[in-house]
């Protein structure tokens, strides 16, 4: 895999990266690969895992930022009529 393909992996949406990672894991668990193929798939899997981890971390940071902003915002109680 060349540098251009690595950039493409980093640009994958989380869901596609996770799906590809699952496919790589399945191929490794199947055991029908040559040693060279297994090593290449392992390397690809590690790249995909890194991309997934980075995207999850970024999402967690966004959620924490939203929660922090909500905590600092004062809400007024809603005026709800009895039904």
* DSSP letter, residue 24: H
**For the residues 20-28, what does the mean pLDDT come to?**
96
10-19, 29-38, 63-72 — which is least confidently predicted? Answer: 63-72
Q: What is the pLDDT of residue 83?
A: 47
Q: What is the pLDDT of residue 78?
A: 65
Reduced to 3 states, what is the DSSP secondary structure of residue 73? Answer: coil
Number of domain units in the chain: 1
Instruction: Give the residue from 75, 74, 13, 73 showing the smallest Cα distance to 48.
Output: 13
**For the residues 10-27, what does the mean pLDDT come to?**
95
Rg of the chain on CA atoms, in Å: 21
Assigned domain for 15 exists: yes
Question: Between these two residues, 35 and 68, which has the higher pLDDT value?
Answer: 35
Say yes or no to pLDDT of 5 above 80.
no
Assigned domain for 34 exists: yes
Assigned domain for 66 exists: no
Say yes or no to pLDDT of 1 above 50.
no
């Amino acid at each position: 895999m060349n540098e251009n393909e690595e950039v493409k992996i980093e640009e994958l949406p989380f869901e596609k990266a996770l799906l590809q990672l699952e496919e790589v894991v399945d191929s490794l668990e199947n055991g029908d690969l040559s040693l060279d193929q297994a090593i290449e798939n392992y390397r690809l899997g590690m790249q995909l895992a890194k991309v997934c981890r980075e995207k999850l971390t970024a999402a967690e940071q966004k959620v924490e930022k939203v929660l922090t902003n909500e905590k600092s915002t004062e809400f007024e109680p809603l005026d709800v009529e009895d039904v």
